[in-house]
């Protein structure tokens, strides 16, 4: 579905991001995954190459909140492959701080990584995609961008900002044949969720109409669809993948 497409995936070393990278590689893409540290990037790339030595995957570890570093790294991808077809802005940080424990610095740090860093990747990529005549930008939102959450107000605030960014850029960039969409995952079986005791997981499952927690592959499948030509007339969408828990 993505044969010979060139993709960048931020936060691609574990969890949902790793699943997206894996799914894209299975479908013929060439992927550069961005992570926070050299050692985690090297481990992820090695694991993928071990599974299939023919997969074209590499990694980098720019500081996402450093605009200049992102411009430099994204331009390196363009120089190597001659194009960038897909940008997946998946990196982010969650938060559960109660309001009476918040500081202005804490709120700003969540917004910085979840919103400002996303723009740091989008700006140079848009310039490249305009020049080449099109592309696809995909953002990771969240179920709580729709319904909120009790505590950690910076996280749903940041993801609501991601939704606004997605809707607005889709309208602005459509004439340049650049599609912009987002995926809003619900509770997903990442390492953090898998470590929770059964007595915490079961009540969560009971609130999900489909009566199961999402798997990282469920989320990756949504990204694959939106990145592919099957979604060539889909832009400005926030695709919920949460088993209808938001309701």
What CATH number is associated with residue 159? 3.40.50.720
* Helix count and strand count (H, E) for the chain: 10, 7
Share of the chain residues as helix, strand and coil, in percent rounded to the nearest 5 = 50, 15, 35
Q: Does residue 167 register a pLDDT over 90?
A: yes
B/e letters for 192-222, b = 16+ CB within 10 Å, e = fewer, are eeeeeeeeeeeeeeeebeeeebbebbbbbbb
Q: Is 86 helix (H, G, I), strand (E, B) or coil?
A: strand
Domain count, the chain: 1
Whole-prediction pTM: 0.94
Mean pLDDT value across residues 185-200: 78
Tens of pLDDT, residues 9-50: 999 999 999 999 999 999 999 999 999 999 999 999 999 999
What pLDDT score does 66 carry? 98
Active site residues: 155
Mind spelling out the 3-state secondary structure of 135-197? EEEEEECCCHHHHCCCCCCHHHHHHHHHHHHHHHHHHHHHHHCEEEEEEEECCECCHHHHCCC
Q: Is 245 part of any domain?
A: no
In a domain, 226, yes or no: yes
With respect to residue 199, please indicate whether it lies within any of the assigned structural domains.
no
Taking 80 as the threshold, does the pLDDT of residue 182 lie above it? yes
The reported pLDDT for the residue numbered 195 is 64
Q: Is residue 201 part of a domain?
A: no
How large a percentage of the chain has pLDDT more than 90?
Answer: 86
Write out the residue range of the structural domain in which residue 13 sits.
6-188+217-240
């Amino acid at each position: 579905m993505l044969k010979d497409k060139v993709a960048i995936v931020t936060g691609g070393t574990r969890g949902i991001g790793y699943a997206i990278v894996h799914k894209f590689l299975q479908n013929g893409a060439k992927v550069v995954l961005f992570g926070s540290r050299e050692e985690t990037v090297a481990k992820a790339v090695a694991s993928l190459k071990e599974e299939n030595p023919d997969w074209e995957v590499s990694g980098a570890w720019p500081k996402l909140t450093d605009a200049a570093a992102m411009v430099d790294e994204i331009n390196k991808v363009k120089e190597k492959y001659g194009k960038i077809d897909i940008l997946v802005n998946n990196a982010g940080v969650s938060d559960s701080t109660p309001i009476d424990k918040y500081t202005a610095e804490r709120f700003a740090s969540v917004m910085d990584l979840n919103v400002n860093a996303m723009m740091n990747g989008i700006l140079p990529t848009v310039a490249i995609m305009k020049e080449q005549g099109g592309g696809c930008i995909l953002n990771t939102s969240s179920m709580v961008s729709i319904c909120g959450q009790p505590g950690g107000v910076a996280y749903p605030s940041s993801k609501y900002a991601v939704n606004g960014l997605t809707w607005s850029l889709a309208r602005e960039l459509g004439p340049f044949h650049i599609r912009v969409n987002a995926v809003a995952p619900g509770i997903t079986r990442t390492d953090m969720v898998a470590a929770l005791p059964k007595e915490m997981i079961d009540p969560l499952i009971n609130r999900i109409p489909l009566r199961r927690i999402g798997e990282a592959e469920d989320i990756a499948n949504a990204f694959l669809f939106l990145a592919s030509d099957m979604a060539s007339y889909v832009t400005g969408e926030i695709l919920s993948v949460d088993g209808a828990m938001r309701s």
